[in-house]
Amino acid sequence: EKSTRKPRPILQSAKLANVLYDIRGPVHEHAARLEADGHKILRLNIGNPAPFGFEAPSAIVRDMIATLPAASGYSDSRGILSARRAIFNHYQVRENFPAFDVNDIYLGNGVSELITMTLQAFLNPGDELLIPSPDYPLWTASATLAGGNVVHYNAIEEQNWEPDIADIEAKITDRTRGIVVINPNNPTGAVYSKEVLTKLADVARRHDLVIFADEIYDRILYDEAEHISIATLAHDVLCLTFNGLSKTYRIAGYRSGWVIITGPRDRAASFIEGISLLSSMRLCANVPAQFAIQAALGGYQSIDPMLKPGGRLYEQRRVAVDMLNAIPGVSVVAPQGALYAFPRLDPEVHEIHDDEKFVQDLLLKEHILVVQGTGFHYPRHDHFRVVTLPGVGDLEVALERLGNFLSSYHQ
Ligand code: PLP
């Protein structure tokens, strides 16, 4: 006998109610549909080097192929020892990096997995985590998913997007447990000075906060910019330093990242046990990609030559900054690092009330895909992010079309 009961809708969990990750959001699917219909979309939206002709370094690929037969089993849940040893050596020679051990390193399927894993191990409902605004939105999404309350602190555009220390101090409460520092920054391209990092470390020290330092762009620097790991200024603070091979080594698809825990690990034994538990529950990170780490860190396949004048990334960033600044009502702080620019639309010239609609309209009319500023938890609708990965020719076409589009765009 057939039941007359109407089948219930199958719902996502309530945990996802406030989880936002716009970089691959609905507009992205719209762009994919346009592409399926045969349109060429200029994608200035995702920091994925490979589609823009950045090849995986051959030494890394060869090493991975050679080690594939040995990589078919699960590894230690922290990661294979040779990779952790290579990471250890890589950081040990850095000036003033705090002491640590190979067992303080955890490998992951990209930094992304380690962000969600460590925040799951760290946050209780109601715990507050300070995250920059604008942010790389995975941080906010992961903290929310882990049950934490995200408190965004401002970055000051007029001061090269440096974190606003006074704003951070003002937002600290009894429930604040940690602070996320993304340096070099996505989406602003800011690289923080020693002075600012010292102040951030001091705030963490005084308020007993754990520092989550996302340094995935640490080697992607322009002009005279110098990257300083905040851990070097915070030996007495629990510091989780995240990095990986997706950007500097251009192998985002292989999924290879790590986190290093430094500072008072005895006091953090319970938290670290939690990280170990979650890391063993996912058994281990993709093993062939773990074998890429030693080849990458021990060899000469870095992105350095592309960052000098005449180098590909240097020139793309120059063209992006010059062309954006030449559009009436648009201004951009020149990024000092990473692969992005975060331009401002002057509200006196371009009145935009809904930046998601702006991105959608730009896609439909000009077939250019960018990401709206609010997708990075930026509070106002007057910014957007472009990726500086496309070649100069494509960037010129895209930014010229953007200028034309803006000259007659109204909301
Ligand atoms: N952190 C930042 C600031 C990023 O921009 C990205 C990727 O764009 C990631 C982390 C994640 O990198 P992956 O998971 O590929 O290591």
Measure 177 CA to ligand 1 centroid, in angstroms. Answer: 23
Measure 50 CA to ligand 1 centroid, in angstroms. Answer: 14
| Structure confidence at residue 2 (pLDDT) | 64
Last residue of a domain, one of 250, 266, 298: 298
Q: Which helix (H) or strand (E) holds 143?
A: helix 138-145
Query: Terminal CA-to-CA distance of the chain, rounded, Å?
Result: 57
Q: Is 363 in the same domain as 258?
A: no
6 domain-assigned: no
Torsional class of 164: left (φ above 0), alpha (ψ -120 to 50), beta (otherwise) = beta
Provide the CB-side half-sphere exposure for 200 (13 A, CA): 31
312 domain-assigned: yes
pLDDT in tens, 53-84: 888 999 899 999 999 999 999 999 999 999 99
CATH of the domain at 363: 3.90.1150.10
Q: Helix/strand/coil (H, E, C) string of 239-266?
A: EEEEEECCCCCCCHHHCCEEEEEECCCC
Residue 191 CA to its chain's centroid (Å): 14
Last residue of a domain, one of 277, 298, 319: 298
Measure 348 CA to ligand 1 centroid, in angstroms. Answer: 34
pLDDT, mean of residues 126-130: 97
Pocket mutation for ligand 1, best pick of 109, 246, 256 (most atoms within 8 Å of C-beta): 246
Pocket mutation for ligand 1, best pick of 111, 192, 218 (most atoms within 8 Å of C-beta): 111
Of all atoms in ligand 1, which is nearest to the CA of residue 255?
A: 15
Measure 226 CA to ligand 1 centroid, in angstroms. Answer: 20
Q: Is 26 in the same domain as 90?
A: no
Tokens 């396949």, residue located = 301
pLDDT in tens, 297-319: 987 666 777 898 889 999 999 99
Q: Say how many domains are in the chain.
A: 2
Q: Is 77 in the same domain as 207?
A: yes
Evaluate whether 177 touches 122 at the Cβ level (below 8 Å): yes
- Please report, as a single letter, which amino acid is at residue 384: F
| Structure confidence at residue 376 (pLDDT) | 94
Torsional class of 116: left (φ above 0), alpha (ψ -120 to 50), beta (otherwise) = alpha
Measure 139 CA to ligand 1 centroid, in angstroms. Answer: 10
Measure 7 CA to ligand 1 centroid, in angstroms. Answer: 40
1 domain-assigned: no
Give CA–CA dist 54/301, Å, rounded: 12
Q: Report whether pLDDT(24) > 70.
A: no
5 domain-assigned: no
DSSP 343-369: -EE-TTT---S-HHHHHHHHHHHH-EE
Q: At what angle do helices 355-366 and 392-407 cross, to 10 degrees?
A: 110
Hey, how many other C-beta atoms are within 10 angstroms of the C-beta on 223? 13
Residue 143 CA to its chain's centroid (Å): 14
Of all atoms in ligand 1, which is nearest to the CA of residue 245?
A: 16
In this structure, which residue's CA is closest to atom 12 in ligand 1? 111
| % of the chain residues with pLDDT over 90 | 86
Give CA–CA dist 39/50, Å, rounded: 20
| Structure confidence at residue 304 (pLDDT) | 79
Tell me which residues have their CB closer than 6 angstroms to ligand 1. 47, 110-112, 136, 182, 186, 214, 216, 244, 246, 252, 257
Number of residues that make up the chain: 411
Print the domain residue range for 45.
14-54+305-407
| Structure confidence at residue 20 (pLDDT) | 82
- Please report, as a single letter, which amino acid is at residue 4: T
Evaluate whether 222 touches 210 at the Cβ level (below 8 Å): no
In this structure, which residue's CA is closest to atom 8 in ligand 1? 47
Q: Report whether pLDDT(17) > 90.
A: no
Measure 21 CA to ligand 1 centroid, in angstroms. Answer: 13
Q: Is 392 in the same domain as 268?
A: no
Confidence band of 44 (pLDDT split at 50, 70, 90): very high
In this structure, which residue's CA is closest to atom 7 in ligand 1? 47
Torsional class of 202: left (φ above 0), alpha (ψ -120 to 50), beta (otherwise) = alpha
DSSP assignment letter at 118: H
Measure 39 CA to ligand 1 centroid, in angstroms. Answer: 28
CATH of the domain at 281: 3.40.640.10
pLDDT in tens, 149-192: 999 999 999 999 999 999 999 999 999 999 999 999 999 999 99
Q: Which helix (H) or strand (E) holds 108?
A: strand 105-108
Give CA–CA dist 338/189, Å, rounded: 5
DSSP assignment letter at 380: S
pLDDT, mean of residues 392-405: 95
Of all atoms in ligand 1, which is nearest to the CA of residue 109?
A: 14
Pocket mutation for ligand 1, best pick of 186, 241, 242 (most atoms within 8 Å of C-beta): 186
- Burial profile 53-78: b = 16 or more Cβ within 10 angstroms, e = fewer: ebebbeebbebbeebeeebeeebebb
Of all atoms in ligand 1, which is nearest to the CA of residue 257?
A: 16
Pocket mutation for ligand 1, best pick of 212, 247, 249 (most atoms within 8 Å of C-beta): 247
Q: Is 268 in the same domain as 227?
A: yes
Q: Is 38 in the same domain as 86?
A: no
Measure 111 CA to ligand 1 centroid, in angstroms. Answer: 6
3 state SS of 154: strand
